[in-house]
Structure 1
Amino acid sequence: MNDEAMIENRTFDEIQVGDTASVVRTLGEEDIQLFALVSGDVNPAHMDADYAATDMFRRVIAHGMWGGGLLSAVLGTELPGPGAIYVSQSLRFLRPVGLGDTITASVTVKEKREKHMLLLDCACTNQAGETVISGEAEVKAPTEKVRRARVALPEVSLRDHDGYRRLIDVTANGTPEVTAVVHPCSAAALLAAVEAADANLISPVLVGPEAKIRKAAGEAGRDISAFRIVPAAHSHEAAAKAVDLVRAGEAQLLMKGSLHTDELMGAVLSSATGLRTERRISHAYIMDVPGHPTPLIITDAAINIAPTLAEKADIIRNAIDLAHVIGIEEPRVAILAAVETVNPVMPSTLDAAALCKMADRGQIAGGLLDGPLAFDNAISEAAAKEKGIVSTVAGKAQILVVPDLEAGNMLAKQLTFLGGADAAGIVLGARVPIILTSRADSLRTRLASCGVAVLMARAATKAAPGLVQEAAA
């Protein structure tokens, strides 16, 4: 084993006055986040970039991360090294430490004392040679020699996926959209509507049995006196009346409450009184996946069970429109299958090839299509390269078109429950966007679903076109 893989101490007898050692580290964003996670210190002076810009002397960072951390690393691994006991330290913070600064932490033996005690001068300097920290440390040095393999540190990944917050912030700046909330007769359903109203996203009109709605509000502990209630005897009537409100121009959005999706969609799909357009109605998840650089739109995972080729074309058109609204100008669309080659006995691969040809002929516009693609080579450039796939979409897909509802449902739930993703759901292709929320959704996900629907409604009416570009920033 080479020397770099080993860690070796210096015993008290080996150490001489004037001996020195150092480590070098560059301060990155993850360092600050990890420090906050471990310590619980969320001081905005270092967690909030806007705040920190006006508070340059971030002494909390210097002390917690560099003073106690880097100097401890020198003492514990270099001088004296393994077996050293840190007794005390006194540090002075002379200059600010900021993101991107490269800090050299050094210790120098100043005195050797009785009982194997050492007094060391400590200093941290930045890339300009300026001293940012100075002080002293008292350490009990080891008396026995230690040489052993250096412990490999575990890989740590911070799940920072805050795209929904930016979306919510942008949409909350406008006038809330009047939203018919269908049968909000459970505490969770009622709370979802009230929270969206509190966030200035929607102005709810509560449609359903009034007594049940008020009971749900009581269970949720929320005041609904400011909201309009449209009485309905049961969930079917609530769905019909909510659709009527949209048709009459009294609501710009629909939001599912505590009724089955098929009850709501039955009213939406009615040929005589529903909200059909020329497009096939479809569902899309906007997934915020930890570690993935862009949102992933997965479609269809809730409405179309086994879509035909023509229905898949509309599903893709709806998804492309959605991508445009959230700021993706030319979305990359991967049509998923189990393999990346056309196989006559696998209908999903034949559909993928046909859909790509439709795009070539201008029948599907606004995005870049490729398929069939397996999931791995749709989202991983390394996997696509390994398979020898040359494509503008492979490895960089932003829309994932699944072969059927079961595949989409399983994919979205795997990303959610195993990958920690958030999944905001919306129904597209009707006269107005339809917000689908689940009891298992977090507050952030519920608000994101509302935010996306608000963006769609505003884009359709061109009431606030600038929001689209802001949401993508």
Structure 2
Amino acid sequence: MQYHNTPYDKLQVGDTAELARTCSVDDFYVFANNSGNHNPLHLASEDGDGDHINEAVAPAMFVGALISAVLGNVLPGAGTLYKSQRFDFVERAHAGDELVSKVTVLEKRPNREVVFETVVTRPSDSAVIVSGQAVVIAPEKEMVFAELDLPGLVVKRHRHFDAMLEKVRPLPPMPTAVVAPEEPNALGGALLAAHETIITPILIGDPDKIAQAAAEIGASLDGIKIIAQSDHVNAAHAAVDLVAEGRAKALMKGHLHTDELLKAALRRENGLRTGRRFTHVFVMDVPGQPRPLLVTDAAINIEPDLETKIDIVQNAIDLALSLGIENPRAGVLSAIETVNPAIRSSVDAALLSKMAERGQIKGGLVDGPLAMDNAVSLAAARSKGIVSDVAGKTDILVVPNLDAGNMMAKQLTYIANAEGAGLVMGAKAPIILTSRADDDKARLASCAVAALHEAFSLPRTGAPA
């Protein structure tokens, strides 16, 4: 695409031009960062006027800036400089509104000065949002410019987790056995989820250490049930007892080793086995990505064989379905996208794909082997001639081993600014795994994912654990 400007000598009174743009929530976050105007009334995540509604009102100067886009890009176009601009703000626009900005030449003055009538309207109801008048210095000569390839912007906003939190709020709080919340982060995550009415925590551990952790974060434990267990192993078993007896619907890891918690859940008598292997799934909210990405297994199965990978894939599909992802697409990763007998992950991926075709893995689409690029990029998949309903549109990334999964999740977190919710699948109840490095959003999201999965109540069957 090319832009042609209109120099001063060729401008005529009555010349007009317009551009249309749909305002987005991310537009307003970018404007807040660039302008320094952090008025919460403009941000979709905030209630800026105390009426319990998050309005996401378009900033007035953002709307006004749409006029400059017409003047700078179209009429007069490249080379135009502002002298003055008057605005009358008549109505308010909101995120999701389509706005049309229009300029009309009113007067030509000496020294290449041109007066424009300016207006921004909302076509859906013919409302005038902004009217006014601009004086610009028009370009002296005619020029042609190719469309500029500007650097892209990614807003560090976790809209997928925001949507999950909204989805889980109408559900009744899920009774959750929190094991050894004896450290501020571990206790704080459970109390935050309780404050958001996602869970009803039952704290199991050393009461003195729990009280000390609460004091450190300035939190009250009033009304919260505490079951005294000074030993982490006993605390884990007591928590599993609560779930086995139906008094709790989920387990949540506190300040203890993961293997202590899972050993209790895997006990033969009155444990949480279902016939599936326990597998771990990260639900990653990566800014700029159109959907959440599930990464599995990144925390439990170190070098899974094919039989284990069957459960890894099935558990992840079940979780994706409970999160509202219809017909989830699982891409089984390898270093290459063709089968090489020397690369075990490529062979396993091909077998898993065929098993899904034959109905041995249910509820979603499975394809592999896929390299990471053609799993998440349609362009990369097409460039390699891959014809697949999964390639480039993957919801679930099935990694070859724990090393690959753990590194991928941490790369997404620390390089791509993702948030990650962690859940253990394959048990009679979801097991929430949080890390000391998790922030509040990640802890809330982990609880929300567990609550959504529990509410979905998928049948759990499969091979012995």
Shorter chain as normaliser: what TM range?
0.7 to 0.9
What are structure 1's unaligned runs of at least 5 residues? 463-473
**Contact map agreement 1:179 1:254 (CA 8 A) in 2:** yes
Q: 1:221-279: CA deviations, max 9, x gaps?
A: 11012111111112222212211222222211100001121221122222345322211
Deviates more, 1:357-366 or 1:311-320: 357-366
Partner AA of 1:124 in structure 2: V
State the partner residue of 1:323. 320
Change (3 A) 1:247 1:70: same
Change (3 A) 1:25 1:441: same
**Contact map agreement 2:113 2:135 (CA 8 A) in 1:** yes
**Contact map agreement 2:121 2:130 (CA 8 A) in 1:** no
Q: Say yes or no: does 1:184 pair with 2:143.
A: no
**Contact map agreement 1:17 1:111 (CA 8 A) in 2:** no
Change (3 A) 1:123 1:300: same
Work out which of the residue numbers 21, 24, 37 in structure 2 matches 1:26: 21
Q: Say yes or no: does 1:412 pair with 2:433.
A: no
State the partner residue of 2:463. none
Partner AA of 1:123 in structure 2: T
State the partner residue of 2:34. 38
State the partner residue of 1:370. 367
- Tell me the CA shift for residue 395 of structure 1: 1.7
C-alpha separation between the residues in 2 aligned to 1:456 and 1:90? 54
C-alpha separation between the residues in 1 aligned to 2:382 and 2:114? 56
State the partner residue of 2:196. 199
C-alpha separation between the residues in 2 aligned to 1:340 and 1:124? 53
Q: 1:291-319: CA deviations, max 9, x gaps?
A: 22222211100000011111111111211
**Contact map agreement 2:7 2:142 (CA 8 A) in 1:** yes
State the partner residue of 1:381. 378
With normalisation by structure 1, the TM-score equals 0.82
Secondary structure of the 2:172 match is coil
Work out which of the residue numbers 102, 105, 108 in structure 2 matches 1:104: 102
Identity score, percent: 41
Partner AA of 1:208 in structure 2: G
Secondary structure of the 1:179 match is strand
State the partner residue of 1:426. 423
C-alpha separation between the residues in 1 aligned to 2:140 and 2:99? 37
State the partner residue of 1:91. 87
State the partner residue of 1:471. none
State the partner residue of 1:123. 118
Secondary structure of the 2:451 match is helix
Secondary structure of the 2:98 match is coil
C-alpha separation between the residues in 1 aligned to 2:72 and 2:303? 64
**Contact map agreement 1:62 1:93 (CA 8 A) in 2:** no
**Contact map agreement 2:198 2:448 (CA 8 A) in 1:** yes
**Contact map agreement 2:19 2:70 (CA 8 A) in 1:** no
With normalisation by structure 2, the TM-score equals 0.83
C-alpha separation between the residues in 2 aligned to 1:62 and 1:233? 55
Q: Say yes or no: does 1:262 pair with 2:242.
A: no
Q: Say yes or no: does 1:436 pair with 2:427.
A: no
State the partner residue of 1:294. 291
C-alpha separation between the residues in 2 aligned to 1:210 and 1:367? 45
State the partner residue of 1:280. 277
- Tell me the CA shift for residue 47 of structure 1: 4.9
Structure-to-structure mapping, 1:67-78, within 5 angstroms:
67-71=64-68, 74=71
Secondary structure of the 1:185 match is coil
State the partner residue of 1:243. 240
Greater helix content: 1
Work out which of the residue numbers 291, 307, 310 in structure 2 matches 1:310: 307
Work out which of the residue numbers 326, 329, 332 in structure 2 matches 1:335: 332
Change (3 A) 1:221 1:15: same
State the partner residue of 1:361. 358
State the partner residue of 1:469. none
Aligned-CA RMSD value: 3.8
